[in-house]
Structure 1
């Protein structure tokens, strides 16, 4: 095996280490969040809303480093569970 091949080994990839660490963090939170009926992404949404609310979906998504199309279902589920309320802006109904 050459040095280049060694660099390409899965165990030497930073992206693999980051994904593994993220999965481990979510696994640590799971038993804490399950009794609350929250997933880890939903928990992050709630944290962002506790910091500042009300706020637009675009603003929330930006703070969470998500696309609005990804954040929207999270917020809709939280609303269905009675944890948040969504309201259209009277100034701009798209918000």
Structure 2
């Protein structure tokens, strides 16, 4: 994993009581797309597109928007280094 992905994973593990977590670099799926060259110029060969699939009891009873806000608050610094982020957020059960 890259430093950005490692940091995302560490922060999410610390912030939430997780049932599942996957932090995946999907940059290879978007190579050559608009913005790829600009992202590479600014951030080098670090990930540009990331998918986070997270399940935690902390999200029970929260709306989809509230779940996304909770995750984004935790990883705000890392998100600033990405071109795109895809979130799949759920509570167990």
TM-score, normalised with respect to structure 1: 0.28
The structure richer in strand per residue is 2
TM-score (norm 2): 0.28
Flag the structure with higher helix content: 1
